[in-house]
Chains A and B, each alone.
Chain A
Amino acid sequence: MTVPPTTAPTEPTSAPGTTGRGSEQTMHVEDRPAVATPAAEKSIRVTVNGTVHERTVSVRRSLVEFLREDLGLTGTHVGCEHGVCGACTVLMDGEPIRACLMFAVQADGAEFTTVEGLAEGDRLHPIQQAFWDHHGLQCGFCTPGILLTTYDFLRDNRGADEAEIREAVSGNLCRCTGYQGIVRSVQAADETWER
């Protein structure tokens, strides 16, 4: 495959190290193409749980694949890969999003929190402890996504009632617990998490 011709090279873009498709040609920083040159690979710089990572990724690599396979952060789970199940939910610049519906290239410059970023060393985050104490999980597949959704919800809300909690976790499918344990865990974390 060939590198499409660079049309009207302009100022280097803020996205570092954009390369053309294929390995036969690597652009130097000086002749970095204009942003209007399609690319099949791109260098990105993302912060995950406080650590900065720089990698070159295929543009069709999803964010969740990047987290799991490139960074080895396998706590974020991949379920349906079309946004429905919520297993891959992570925080992007503080907001919960689906990591399966973003490409890693789109994450350039952003900050993420994954489930690995919740505990402090061996000490579970109060939300994790509450899920442990109140049987908020069974098989655990949905749990990372639910924990991050809960983190965002409790950060902004105190004293939520059951209906509000059920609404808050409605975008995360759990097929084991029937949600009773999850609701109890969120209620407990609401009490114990000092924030």
Chain B
Amino acid sequence: MKPAPFDYLAPTTIEETLDVLAEHGDEAKVLAGGQSLVPMLNFRLARPAVLVDINHVAGLDGIEVAADSLTLGAAVRQRALETRLPGQLPRPSAWGLLPEAVGYVGHQQIRARGTLGGSLAHADPAAELPAAVTALGATLCLRSADGQREVGPDEFFEGFFTTCLAPEELLVAIRVPAWPAGTGTSFLEVSRRRGDFAQVAVAAAITVADGRITRAGIALAGVAGGTVHARELEDGLVGQAPAAGTFAELAADYAATLDPPPDVHGPAEYRRALAAHLLERALTEATGRSSAAAA
């Protein structure tokens, strides 16, 4: 047995889970899909005294599609985003960015257990789902025994494997707002092999009305110590007419501001070049799809 000893709890209600987390505080760790936590336990990078398995908690794996929002329980499996969600979405829909992004997460065997909430709470800087929910401007619903709060991705993701979740807090749901008609999305990634974490990934949602970009949501993975919300690029796009030259210029300008960590696969400059290229392609693809969406 590789992990250090721990005690195991499998609560069945959200309230019970919150009580347990309140009682054990930072001695406890939530176990969702286990696809990141169990490797950390096996390496003994994490040594919680109590493991709180949320796989039996009722009401954490719902998928609710309403006119103005899509609400996903934190424990919705990544595989369900890929196989169950698409059939429930209106067409076209900006929410389609989620199934698109999740296809890049690991392999089918990983997605079968891994959850949406687990990926967000883990906050790997190269992870796809944090970028997708950031681009879509989702709201994360957190609960503790003391109450609940709702935060946006900018507040939730604090950096390198760090979120604003307190030890006694549980991420319970992710609410993604509907985007206006005329919105198109794109998710693009470069990785060394199929299923690897992103070297660079780009998530984009863009609304075009009357030939002008009226709204843009763009985020990147793999280019910094955390998920990057490309606010300057979004601001630069709003008001522009979609055009190849504009996209190339804005993408290159934005990528030049990034300072990605160098690694064995290449220097910072390589990731900047990937970011510029992927951003340009994502803007082109998203606006192309948005005109299809408006038609």
Contact = CB atoms under 8 A, between A and B. Distances in A.
Nearest to A169: B107
A101 B26 CA distance: 22
A46 interface: no
B8 A105 contact: yes
A168 B108 CA distance: 8
Q: Could you say which interface size class chain A belongs to?
A: 35 or more
A102 B34 contact: yes
B4 to A, nearest CB: 8
Interface in A133-169: 149, 152, 167-168
Contacts of A106: 34, 53, 55
A108 to B, nearest CB: 9
Contact of B2 (A39, A81, A149): A81
Nearest to B4: A60
Contacts, number: 105
A170 B107 contact: yes
A71 interface: no
A86 B7 contact: no
Nearest to B9: A38
B38 A83 contact: yes
Contact of A15 (B10, B55, B79): B10
A36 B11 CA distance: 6
Interface residues of B, number: 37
Interface in B97-144: 106-110, 112-113
A43 to B, nearest CB: 12
Contacts of B7: 4, 21, 38-40, 59
Interface in B14-53: 16, 19-20, 34-35, 38-39, 41-43, 50-51, 53
A35 B17 CA distance: 10
B160 interface: no
B9 A171 contact: no
Interface stretch (A90-98, A115-123, A177-185): A90-98
Given A36-B11, A170-B194, A171-B107, 18 more contacts: A35-B9, A36-B20, A40-B7, A59-B6, A59-B7, A60-B4, A62-B2, A82-B39, A96-B109, A97-B112, A97-B113, A100-B38, A101-B34, A105-B8, A106-B55, A149-B108, A171-B108, A171-B195
Interface of A: 4, 13, 15, 21, 35-40, 42, 58-62, 65, 81-83, 86, 89, 92, 95-98, 100-103, 105-106, 149, 152, 167-168, 170-171
Which 3 interchain pairs have the tightest Cβ spacing? A171-B107, A38-B7, A82-B39
22 contacts: A15-B10, A36-B11, A36-B19, A38-B7, A38-B9, A40-B8, A60-B3, A60-B5, A65-B1, A82-B38, A82-B43, A86-B107, A96-B109, A96-B112, A97-B112, A101-B38, A102-B34, A102-B38, A103-B38, A106-B55, A168-B108, A171-B106
